[in-house]
Amino acid sequence: MYFILLIAIMVLLRALTYNRYIILACRICGDKQLGKGSLKKEDICQYCKTKSLIVSGLAGNPKRSYQIKTHKRAVRLKSLIVPGFGFLAAGSVSMFFVTTFLLSMIMSLFVLFSFSFPGDYSPLYAIISRLGTIVTGGLTLLLYIFFTVSNEIFIRRVHAKYKIDTV
């Protein structure tokens, strides 16, 4: 009952704050600005949109180039800590939710197999526990690596779309 009430409150708050002023961050350089409306996939600041500044590494403005490089490094480091953060920084919230959902499900299975099947009850429980721990641990590691690499590819694709070349 409380769960349904919590979901209703969440939906109501989302409806009330849908077209309000929010702080938007540029997907390229990370510059924050006040904007009206909802989050869009094309949250790029005007500075990054102009074609005259998109010259191999933004050679005309070294401060802006440094800001873009710093933002890119920060996104890379954060995506190592939280796999899927690159999707969130590039504007794909749905992929971030898929990433966190899959990793949380596999990690919960890992915890289930690690601690809920004690081996002192039966040798079968010990085999299930060991095998489940190894399989889910390997799946967690593979998903972590896959989503970390796909974050990097996604960020590079966004930078290539706007012809930003700063590495």
**Beta partners for residue 32, in sequence order:** 25
Lowest mean pLDDT among 50-59, 71-80, 86-95: 50-59
Average pLDDT of the residues in 14-34: 67
Measuring CA to CA, which residue among 78, 72, 82 is closest to residue 165? Answer: 72
Whether residue 21 has pLDDT greater than 70: no
Instruction: Give the tokens for residue 151.
Output: 């974050």
> What digits encode the pLDDT tens for the residues 99-129?
888 988 998 888 888 887 666 677 888 888 8
139: confidence class by pLDDT, cuts 50, 70, 90: very high
Measuring CA to CA, which residue among 25, 91, 28 is closest to residue 58? Answer: 28
Q: DSSP states of 26-37 as a string? A: -TTT--EEEEES
Instruction: Give the tokens for residue 57.
Output: 């590494």
* The pLDDT value given to residue 22: 62
Are the C-beta atoms of 152 and 86 separated by less than 8 Å?
A: yes
* The pLDDT value given to residue 154: 85
Eight-state DSSP code of residue 116: S
Which residue stretches of the chain are H helix? 2-16, 46-49, 62-81, 85-90, 93-115, 123-161
Q: How far apart are CA 126 and CA 113, in angstroms?
A: 10
Q: Which residue has the higher pLDDT, 98 or 25?
A: 98
* The pLDDT value given to residue 52: 40
Instruction: Give the tokens for residue 74.
Output: 């920060």
